[in-house]
Amino acid sequence: MPTHPAPTLADIVRARQRIRGLAVETPLVSARRLGERAGVRLFLKAENLQRTGSFKLRGAANKLARLAASPERPRGVVAASSGNHGQAVAYAARAYGLPALVVVPEDAAPAKVAAARDFGAEVEACGRTSRERLARAAAVAEERGWAFVAPYDDVDVIAGQGTAGLEIVDQAQDVDVVLVPLGGGGLASGIATAVRARAPRARLVGVEPEGSNAHFVSRREGRRVELPRTDTIADGLRKLAPGEITHELLQRLLDDVVLVSDDEILEAMRLLALDTKLVAEPSGAVTVAAALKGRGVKANERVVCVVSGGNVDPAVMARAMAL
């Protein structure tokens, strides 16, 4: 029996209407040469070309649109994030006329902090762990009466991410399998809900880094497991445990979870740049890394890899290109 709320297909269809004009419909790119390397027919859902550089805008836009239209419209919004979620909330908040505060770690990458500030958000540094950031964000939300915007464990955020799944089903014919990166699991939960409903024959496979494999372990153990630590170059996929809503949804909706190493991620980034001219960040390249190693896919299948973001640190891109 499900114990958590879950978005429906209808929620995702409404989200698509709601965020039209703020998030763009990203292209589904046919990647022939990469596909030949992998022995499959490969298509890339290019969320690296989404506004703000990642799919996170979809969920943030849906959440903020609902908050802004609600009778209890908050006076502002707070997010705790070192990266793409913070940028997305900052961007969407400006669009809906809500002030935003993004709480970042003291050691956050200056480029990502600058991006949130450029979109008009107030940025505050606090601690180094996500626990410290979350506590600070909750305190500010309480003090100011602002709404806290969760990065993945929220039905409206998941419904927003699911709009990428609706686009995939509209853009691709006869998909055999969709590969999705797993951080907290919001993107995969949304896409899996949409694809299950609209293309029930397609398999859904989640991809995690070996060094941040909380979904893989939780699936194996049949319960939500918390890791002691994470270690991966894919900064958008670092998390100690799956979300509560997302864990329950993904246990049911995913056919498999597969793992990739940091070296395989860097190799996929290099091939994405050279063969398809797409710049992906490490978190966005894990699906292509899996397909290239034949994980989660079978020979000659029609495969969609979600390339979830392109906000890559130049030093990391240089490392990938130097392979």
Ligand X SMILES: *Cc1c(COP(=O)(O)O)cnc(C)c1O
- Residue 47 CA, distance from chain mean position: 9
Using the rule CB under 6 A, is 187 a contact of ligand X? yes
Using the rule CB under 6 A, is 248 a contact of ligand X? no
Which one of residues 54, 212, 232, 287 is an interface residue with ligand X (CB under 6 A)? 54
Mapped onto helix, strand or coil, the DSSP state of residue 308 is coil
Segment near ligand X (CB under 6 A); pick from 15-23, 136-144, 177-185, 264-272: 177-185
- Specify the DSSP class assigned to residue 153: S
Using the rule CB under 6 A, is 305 a contact of ligand X? no
Active site amino acids: 56, 308
**Cβ burial 90-108 (10 Å sphere, 16+ → b, else e):** bbbbebbebbbbbbbbeeb
Question: What are 28's strand-pairing partners?
Answer: 45
Using the rule CB under 6 A, is 309 a contact of ligand X? yes
CB of 237 to ligand X, least distance (A): 6
Using the rule CB under 6 A, is 186 a contact of ligand X? yes
Using the rule CB under 6 A, is 74 a contact of ligand X? no
Q: For the window 82-101, what string marks contact with ligand X as x by the rule CB under 6 A?
A: --x-----------------
Check: CB of residue 12 under 8 Å from CB of residue 190.
yes
Show Cβ contacts of residue 78 under 8 Å, excluding neighbours closer than 6 positions: 100, 101, 102, 103, 137, 140, 141, 144, 146, 147, 148, 149
Using the rule CB under 6 A, is 7 a contact of ligand X? no
Which one of residues 35, 105, 184, 296 is an interface residue with ligand X (CB under 6 A)? 184
At residue 172, φ and ψ (nearest 5 deg) are: -110, 145
Tokens found for residue 157: 């955020």
Whichever of 147 and 312 has its CB closer to ligand X, that residue is 312
Q: How far is Cα 250 from Cα 242, in angstroms, rounded to an integer?
A: 9
Which one of residues 283, 289, 291, 304 is an interface residue with ligand X (CB under 6 A)? 283
Q: How far is Cα 160 from Cα 139, in angstroms, rounded to an integer?
A: 26
Which one of residues 112, 236, 260, 290 is an interface residue with ligand X (CB under 6 A)? 236
Segment near ligand X (CB under 6 A); pick from 118-126, 142-150, 179-187, 293-301: 179-187
Using the rule CB under 6 A, is 237 a contact of ligand X? yes
Q: Name the site residues for ligand X (rule: CB under 6 A).
A: 54, 56, 84, 151-152, 181-188, 236-237, 281, 283-284, 308-309
